[in-house]
Structure 1
Amino acid sequence: MAFTVHEFAHAYVAYKFGDTTAKDQGRLTLNPIQHLDPFGTLLILFVGFGWARPVPVMRSRFKNPRLAGVLVSVAGPLSNFLLAFIAFGIFYFFVGVTGGVGVPPFIIDLLQMIVYLNVLLFVFNLLPFPPLDGYRIIEDLSPNHVRAKLTQYEQYGVLLFLIIVITPLDEYTIWPLLQGGMTATNQAFSAIFTTIFSIFS
């Protein structure tokens, strides 16, 4: 669900800005079969790290490539943020308001997993490493001369990123960033829903 909504969001925003590439390839859909990468999905199940099929985007079809590019890139992580926000709200209501009375335990576990995975994807995809969305955002916001340099060395950035992810280096680089971002996001969710439910209680 998290991967499907993420990729659909990219495709939908690109389509709204005039790029029909994803739609023409059947990617403007919430059907997970169209978005899941077989190998990436297997790795998720057995290794805990994987990916979906990236949505094809042709920035040349945008009237304003930089603005549209940024919004298309932001759409994916933002969709995960919204999924996590909604699931956290339901979880908070069940546990914080009703005390979980009458709620099957698997529902609570499912909501916690939805929050965890979507917050993880939200923070992870905003990291400034190629080929993640955070890198694409920086690329689109950069001046032309900086963007040219980024494009020139992007392949090395991808290689470096993969080395970091699949080696113990992630414990000292990416994982602290993820933990900090996830903690901050969950604290923000908690503060928001505590305030909301205190107003109406």
Structure 2
Amino acid sequence: MELAVVLSVLLFSVVLHEVAHAWVALREGDPTAADQGRITLNPLAHLDPVGSLLLPVALYWASGGAAIFGWAKPVPVDPRNYREPVAGDIRVSLAGIVVNLGLAVIFMLVAALAAALQGAPGVLTDLLGWVFFAARFGVFINLILAVFNLIPIPPLDGSHVLRHLLPAALRPAYERIAQYGMLVLMALIFIFDGAFRVLLLPAFALMDLADAFLRLWM
């Protein structure tokens, strides 16, 4: 039951992340993702067999339920279609992160409501317990997704922002390094996991604040 709950919340969060990219890209003048049917909440349009199913389930079981992570298929975009190529690319790149932060706030409010209602006469305590569990996990995973995607390693969203903020003289070197971005990312996640956790410290710090807020309602 727990796996079904956390996997559902994870998939909902990564799907909305990609839909945000697709929707903002269309607003910026690029119909590529829209033409491929990616502006939809239908998870089947966004699922990646490895990132959305195999990896999350494997991580969950390998960690004894202590860890889960995943992603959806990246939406295809063509920055050449943006009305403002640089500003448009930055806005599209940040769209998913903004959505994840917004979802974290919404899930926190739902968790606070569930916590406040527990123990009230006439309420379904067990159901509220599951709602609180799902919502609190929603806060956590969306904070993780937001901070993770801000890491300036290609192909993460933060790399698109950094590329445009770098001085022109440094961009060619960054582009050369970018081709190894996925290898660097996989090494951080699976080999140098201590360094990876350091990069995610802002998410853990924000989760501590969220938990402090939720305790006020218990």
Asked whether the two chains share a fold, i.e. TM above 0.5, the reply is yes
**Deviation at residue 65 of structure 1 after TM alignment:** 1.0
Which deviations, in whole Å up to 9, do the C-alpha atoms of 1:68-96 show, x marking residues without a partner? Answer: 1111111111111111110101211332x
Residue correspondence of structure 1 range 1-201 to structure 2 within 5 A: 1-41=12-52, 42-47=54-59, 48-95=68-115, 97-99=116-118, 101=120, 102=123, 103=125, 104=127, 105-167=129-191, 169-171=192-194, 173-178=195-200, 180-187=201-208, 189=210
Q: Identify which range, 4-13 or 114-123, moves more after superposition.
A: 114-123
Cα 1:110/1:190, change in 2 over 3 Å = closer
**Deviation at residue 106 of structure 1 after TM alignment:** 1.2
| Secondary structure class of the residue paired with 2:179 | helix
| Secondary structure class of the residue paired with 1:122 | helix
Which structure 2 segments of 5+ residues have no match?
A: 1-11, 60-67
Q: Number of aligned pairs?
A: 192
**Deviation at residue 5 of structure 1 after TM alignment:** 0.2
Amino acid paired to 2:155 = P
Counterpart Cα distance in 1 of 2:77 and 2:181:
20
**Deviation at residue 177 of structure 1 after TM alignment:** 2.3
Counterpart Cα distance in 2 of 1:124 and 1:15:
24
Counterpart Cα distance in 2 of 1:93 and 1:159:
42
Query: Percent identity, aligned pairs only?
Result: 36
Q: Identify which range, 34-43 or 98-107, moves more after superposition.
A: 98-107
Cα 1:177/1:153, change in 2 over 3 Å = closer
Which portions of structure 1, spanning 4 or more consecutive aligned residues, are displaced by more than 3 angstroms?
Answer: 97-101, 187-195
Cα 1:145/1:100, change in 2 over 3 Å = farther
Amino acid paired to 2:114 = F
Q: Identify which range, 55-64 or 148-157, moves more after superposition.
A: 148-157
The 8 Å contact of residues 94 and 100 in structure 1, kept in 2 or not, is answered as no
CA RMSD of aligned residues (A): 2.2
The residue number in structure 1 matching 2:8 is none
**Deviation at residue 117 of structure 1 after TM alignment:** 1.3
| Secondary structure class of the residue paired with 2:39 | coil
Cα 1:100/1:147, change in 2 over 3 Å = farther
Which structure 1 segments of 5+ residues have no match?
A: none
TM-score by length of 2: 0.80
Counterpart Cα distance in 2 of 1:143 and 1:21:
29
The 8 Å contact of residues 73 and 133 in structure 1, kept in 2 or not, is answered as yes
